[in-house]
Each structure stands twice: as structure tokens, then as C-alpha cells.
């Protein structure tokens, strides 16, 4: 499975159940965590206090779980279909392992289901997403349901 370098042009008609796409990698930085804490208001010491985090079960600071979800969204957008998303309908998400500063994450996107809704100008696509780190370990996974427009709407 090759990384998809497309930047636009993936519409509802282009999705097939079983199709897989792999995002490029993205290394998580301390700046990412600090910025996410500022935007979200979540200053849990597990994320922002190195001394506190040393005594935790993780032994060091970890990224916010929701930062991982946000990174998945950003990485998925690089696959080229996010520009055709009309609505984000639902998320079912599991946090499997921590994401540490310096981890490089990738997202495998699998097409689980498609349902045409011509009256809405496209259809629902259920995406299975798995975030893995540089060691191939699953750190987060789940499903998103999105309404994606048809090419004919353009």
C-alpha cells in the first residue's frame, strides 16, 4: 500500500469498500502539546509538567488524547478527500497507547461502508482509522462517518 499524495479531487464516487490509504508521517513536538493545551484549556500536568509526568505511569509527558484525534484529522486531510466533506457526522474513538513527544504517527484509513444520498449531493462514507507510531504500534483507532459530496455537485 503506497502513500497517497493526492491533494484534491476524491469524491463520493471514488470510494470503494475495502479501499485503504496511508497518510504521510507527522512527528509530534513539545510545541504541538503546548499549543493544544492553550487552545483546549487542558493543562493536565501529564501533558505540560515534565517533573510531574516523570512520576506517572508513562514516565514522561504524553500528548493529549484529543491531540491525536486532531492530528488524524489533519493527516487524513492530506489524502485529498477532506475538501469534499460536507459534514462530519459521528466519531467512535479508542485511545490504545500514549503518544509521546518525538513520536512520528501515520494514519491508515480504510473504507468500511458507503451509502449514496443523492438528495444531499453525495453520500455517507464510514472510515476506519488507525494511528500508529514509528514502531508500528497502534496508539488510537476508531471510525468516522462523513457526508462526502459527489463529483457531479462541482
Domain-wise residue ranges, the chain: 12-153
pLDDT beyond 90 at 8: no
Distance CA 2, CA 94 (A): 25
2 — pLDDT class (breaks 50, 70, 90): very low
**Domain 12-153 maps to which CATH number in 3.10.129.10, 2.30.40.10, 1.10.150.120, 2.60.40.10?**
3.10.129.10
Please write the tens of the pLDDT for every residue from 31-48: 999 999 999 999 999 999
54 — pLDDT class (breaks 50, 70, 90): very high
Please write the tens of the pLDDT for every residue from 97-136: 999 999 999 999 999 999 999 898 899 999 999 999 999 9
Amino acid at each position: 500500500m503506497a502513500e497517497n499524495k493526492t491533494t484534491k479531487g476524491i469524491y463520493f464516487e471514488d470510494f470503494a469498500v475495502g479501499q485503504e490509504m496511508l497518510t504521510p508521517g507527522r512527528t509530534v513536538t513539545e510545541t504541538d502539546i503546548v499549543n493544544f493545551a492553550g487552545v483546549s484549556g487542558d493543562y493536565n500536568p501529564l501533558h505540560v509538567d515534565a517533573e510531574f509526568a516523570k512520576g506517572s505511569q508513562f514516565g514522561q509527558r504524553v500528548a493529549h488524547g484529543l491531540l491525536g484525534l486532531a492530528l488524524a484529522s489533519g493527516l487524513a486531510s492530506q489524502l485529498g478527500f477532506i475538501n469534499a466533506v460536507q459534514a462530519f457526522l459521528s466519531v467512535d474513538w479508542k485511545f490504545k497507547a500514549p503518544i509521546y513527544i518525538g513520536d512520528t504517527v501515520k494514519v491508515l484509513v480504510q473504507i468500511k461502508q458507503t451509502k449514496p444520498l443523492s438528495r444531499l449531493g453525495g453520500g455517507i462514507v464510514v472510515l476506519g482509522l488507525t494511528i500508529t507510531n514509528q514502531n508500528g504500534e497502534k496508539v488510537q483507532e476508531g471510525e468516522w462517518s462523513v457526508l462526502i459530496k459527489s463529483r457531479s455537485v462541482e
